[in-house]
Amino acid sequence: MSETIVTLKKGEGRTLKAGGAWIYDNEIDKITGRFTNGDVVTVEDFDGYPMGKGFINQNSKIRVRMLTRKKDVEIDEAFLKMRVRNAWEYRKTVVDTSSCRVIFGEADFLPGLVIDKYEDVLVVECLALGMEQFKLKIVDLLKKVLAEDGIRIRGVYERSDANERVKEGLPKVKGFLGEEFDTNVEIVENGVHYMVDVVNGQKTGFFLDQKYNRLAMQRICKGKRVLDCFTHMGTFALNAGIAGAKEVTGLDISEYAVSQATENAKRNHLEDTVKFRCANVLDELPRLAQAGELYDVVILDPPAFTKSKEATKNAIKGYREINMKGLKLVKDGGYLATCSCSHFMTQELFTKTIAEAAKAAHKRLRQVEFRTQSADHPILWANDASYYLKFLIFQVCEEK
């Protein structure tokens, strides 16, 4: 098959040239050569300057996802093994690797692919058509790279069941890659034990990106009365409990999440200190305020209020409302931890929204710490989607 060349329009490809990983449909001048969606193509600037190689998909507005900046590199087994090995060596340097994200898509130069490691289990999420052809080979290579460090993977499960697949012209897929195995996996993070259900848990089973944000809360929660909102599997609540919190309440609208969190509390012998209940947080916070409840620490870890640029305006209202309600429950001199996991809610927009919530609640904020996602979810500059988690800790003071 002859080489397929994608030529950019003059003046386009600015994000790509700044270090990004995507080429949008409206940036392309012409495509020469025959291809099938998912094929690897060569990208050139308007004047023929080589920009590298990526895979193409005419079903997607992200027309080309880049694999390499070098025109002469072959996308073969050696190339994929280099990418996998680099990703693993990076994790070994920056995080606790017992459970971590090993491959983070574009930020690891393997666009559209996520692989999480939970002890001796891998969970795979493939969101791009072009990555489908490499998915199984990358999993196999990763198992071999891990084996070099004495890590034996007992099973691999695929959770490619996100809506992004449909936009790529792909069916949603969920199931074992290889032999079946027990999909309940016990992990230990920051000294806390969890049972991760990789089949039914959210995303790939667990939110690994908040690992060190949860750890940061341990020193603040010791001896405190803590309210953890949108607790999911009880992660922040249990970190507070294991750090020596006096009393912890976790709230979540999902009965399944609350049952999982309760089991995790028992697993850590914290059932007398850390309690969970099913509640709609937006309704429950005003009820608690009306009842005169106050907490030393309030933690807000809501789901993404927006998954599109168009819905950002409504998301701002949602974040402002939840932070205003949360702030009213913090004692004078207490602490608020609040976050957003939507990349459309930029750092600037998020901090502005919190400032508005504090003003409306008549509270003064002293910033303790600003954090982002764990380093196993690296932020690739010029690829905005890779920077999504903003996490802030404040001391809350009355206006007096």
For strands 274-278 and 247-252, give the pairing: parallel
Residues annotated as part of the active site: 341
In contact, 115 and 122? CB cutoff 8 Å: yes
In contact, 9 and 28? CB cutoff 8 Å: yes
Q: Classify the C-alpha dihedral 390-392-398-400 as positive or negative.
A: negative
DSSP state letters, 64-98: EEEEES-TT---SHHHHHHHHHHHHHHHHHHS--S
Q: In what order do the strands lie in the sheet with 113-118?
A: 99-104, 113-118, 121-126, 155-160, 173-176
In contact, 224 and 237? CB cutoff 8 Å: no
Residue from 282, 280, 214 nearest 248 by CA: 214
Q: From the CB of residue 70, how many other CB atoms can be counted at a distance below 10 Å?
A: 12
Residues 6+ apart with CB under 8 A from 144: none
Residue from 389, 370, 332 nearest 209 by CA: 389
